[in-house]
Structure 1
């Protein structure tokens, strides 16, 4: 992406990985709404640097290592974290790399990403997978790590009433995580009711459109918002019971409906937010994937060659409820 709306394909020679780095042969890379923002030029200032090779959701196989990296990694299947945290600020030292104050730096936005045949990154960001891992499914482990961060923040408890707002990739992955906590109820809310109903095969107990949730306001112990639509943060807080918990993972554009501070204060509702995922959440997501708790393959609806990047972005930006996760295959 030279600039918003302008992309080209180029053949390049890959430099050997430097000290502490690895080069990964990309197997598949997911396309998400933030990639559409990069294409359209609507990503917030400071969170993209053109020209850039996009692609932050990926899976692949290590093909070369740099000085100081274990050569046994060559040939291993892997995924990798996107944030390039500074590792020395107070937040990093607390283990919260996604809150690094050293400046935003992320694969696919400020560093070359995975919409290419190979990707170079620090070896410390790798999460090595079992030899038998399905790399097609593993390409969804980046959004799964975001959902894992939400689940760790939410601390779901057995027998709770839980609602997930949004039935996109994050929402359906959240259903899989939260169903494992044995909730008494697990509602999924989405205006695309057919998308919401897909969640019932993944552990949800009910699916509703937003217009049909008025009677459920104040019912849920935990609400996980995943859509980032203009009203979903506000609506999620309305679904929470007094003393309940809300975790916001969607990233709305400026002008979204605000959350009523009086409602929060009087109801003593706890609101947490998630942006990206720290290393602990990545490790949790990888474990859940390898034990079979997560089954991301069911979310994939389209697989396109890298040359159809523009079509992939258009699919992700459309309103077709039949479009789920779109993968690019270099």
Structure 2
């Protein structure tokens, strides 16, 4: 099995993954308790799916009892330029690096399936592949498999690739040799905690999703708390601040899949504000942005306009005052108040 694992690792790197490791399905016994505490404290916000199927999420061995090994893989999506530079372009929307290209779910799963098919052809057994959508705690498993560790920002980072990675898992009935788990190498660094605009980290290694901009712009339904709106800046889909400042990114490996090349860019807020549902779907076809739907994205755009300080965008916000979505209309009113034009009329 050692030789098989070595060949699997070679094959994984050839496929475009930047790291691979193996752990046992029962290698994260502390995960269930941590997840239960997180949910009990309400830190998951509206993400009810985290509370559902906790028995599976907290115990990978229960997800598929026949599995003997979990092959964890990391795939780089590292940006070629500073992802924080767009925060100064107040008439444009800042979109998280991971959503700049094609939907990573499709790209990573395609590669996982190819690698899985190779493993089946070489050694038989059975496999199941997972990318982010199943009740699998990829980050603790990746740490148990020796890929890296969960940093103080709770994301996975590794000494050989930084923290710009997607994670995928192949569960298999084959009994592959396990790797040694990785330990934290964050030291006294608090860069990721210090830069967070909303103070979403009550303590190192602990995230309050209810204050996280990625959660607020993607997962949160309805109006965002008024006290948090000014802190969103022009971030309309996700937030990269804590990832971007990690010193370990000096070892980041370039993204190999051309699908991760940015094509969404930093769109003009005025253009996005005018999107109806059909135009939204057409513009973001093949992008992970499509998952939030038109209404939530335009709501975020209204907040960004309110934070822009750009009086020339007031009429753009005014045009959404009568929007069919109540959260969009509320955000438009807020934007106009922030721009000092609370009585601006809606456009016909």
Q: What interval of TM-score do these two structures reach, taking the shorter chain for normalisation?
A: under 0.3
Of structures 1 and 2, the larger Rg is shown by: 2
Say which structure is richer in strand.
1
Provide the TM-score with structure 2 as the length reference: 0.25
Say which structure is richer in helix.
2
Q: RCO greater where, 1 or 2, for CA within 8 Å and sep 6 or more? A: 2
Provide the TM-score with structure 1 as the length reference: 0.25
